[in-house]
Amino acid sequence: MLWVLFLLVAWCAAIVSCTRLCLAAVAAAEPMDPDPAADGKDLSLYEAAFLSGGPRRVADLVLVAMCRERRLLLAHTGWVTVVDPDGRDELERSVITAIGPEGQSPVRPVRTALATAVPVRALGERLVAAGLAVPASARTNVAVAVRQVRAACALVLMTAAAALLLVPPAAGRGPVAAWFALPLLLTASSLLIARLEAHPYS
């Protein structure tokens, strides 16, 4: 009956992590008081991109928009080259700064640098103030809770494997596996729901 201890560990990890995820999701979904100054304003294309995919979507939009206007060249090799070094707004200037003084850089570090740039953070803060985006603290709490549920799911699998090794085949391993299937189902379904519903920038 030593496998019962493993089952208790699995259940504790599953319940604690899933409860934390539910609390973080509920806290992130609480309505915020919008800024009256932002009321009635239309969303810009950059703001719409942030709401649909976060900072990386904004970075992609800026790169593609500048490429369409022939102010950047995006090569199939994964490099970006500056054609016009004069950015028309803060985001475009951030792209040119991220590319560097040589005027050429791989696309991946440019996207990463732009996603964390001050203008993108300011854009996100404006959307939070308008009541349209989730605050950064709430996004962080949800992301941490999802990682904890993922770790709990892995722990359930490991404890199940250890428990099944302790049970002799003659005694029957089916009931033991069934008991561990419940916390596994709880953590796996929580991860699936979080994947479908808890978008970090919605």
Q: Is the pLDDT of residue 8 over 70?
A: yes
The pLDDT mean for the chain works out to 86
In a domain, 202, yes or no: no
The pLDDT-based confidence of 20 (bands split at 50, 70, 90) is very high
Q: Mind listing the pLDDT tens digit for each residue in 96-129?
A: 999 988 888 999 999 999 988 999 999 988 888 8
Measured CA to CA, the distance from residue 162 to residue 154 in angstroms comes to 12
pTM of the model: 0.66
Pick the last residue of a domain from 96, 129, 162. 129
Dihedral (Cα; 171, 174, 179, 183), 10-degree rounding: 140
Residue 162: exposed, middle, or buried by beta-carbon count in 10 A (0-12, 13-18, 19+)?
A: middle
Tell me the helices (H) and strands (E) count for the chain, helix number first: 8, 3
121 shares a domain with 82: yes
For residue 37, the model assigns a pLDDT of: 56
Provide the number of structural domains found in the chain. Answer: 2
Per the listing, tokens 């990890």 go with 13
Domain span including residue 108:
38-129
| pLDDT value at 10 more than 60 | yes
* Other C-beta atoms lying within 10 Å of the C-beta of residue 166: 15
